[in-house]
Structure 1
Amino acid sequence: MALSSHIEELKKKHSALSHQVEEAQRAPGTSDAEIAEMKKQKLRLKEEIERLSTATA
């Protein structure tokens, strides 16, 4: 897989996770721990995207 397509996949996952976090925050049954874990995953994806993007620049 080309690096640019890998970065695009990561961006898609980040966006999807962002929507999941928003929905979870609106849902009364979602625990703070679940939301925090999703936010951590989102941050890890963002860091990976940035790392790979600077590697190609």
Structure 2
Amino acid sequence: MSIQSHLQELKRRHAAIEQELNREMNSPASDPLRVAELKRKKLVLKDQMSKLNPTSTVH
């Protein structure tokens, strides 16, 4: 797998977690532990992306 394709996969996973996080946070029965877990996963992916491509920023 090339670095570019790996970076694209990380971006896809980051976006999917972002969507799941938004759903969880907007749910009336939101689980704070689940929200924290999703935020940690998202941060790990962001760190991995920045290591592969330090010139780009991901929000």
TM-score (norm 1): 0.89
Who is 1:18 aligned against?
A: 18
1:1-57 to 2 correspondences below 5 Å:
1-54=1-54
Q: Give the number of the structure whose residues are more often helix, by fraction.
A: 1
RMSD value, Cα: 0.8
User: 4+ residue stretches of structure 1 with deviation over 3 A?
Assistant: none
Structure 2 segments unaligned to the other structure (5+ residues): 55-59
Q: Which runs of 5+ in 1 are unaligned?
A: none
Instruction: Work out which structure has the larger RCO, using CA pairs closer than 8 Å and 6 or more positions apart in sequence.
Output: 1
Per-residue CA deviations over 1:21-49 (Å, capped at 9, x if unaligned) read 00001112231001000000000000100
Identity %: 31
Residue-pair matches, total: 54
Q: Equivalents in 2 of 1:5, 1:28: separation in Å?
A: 37
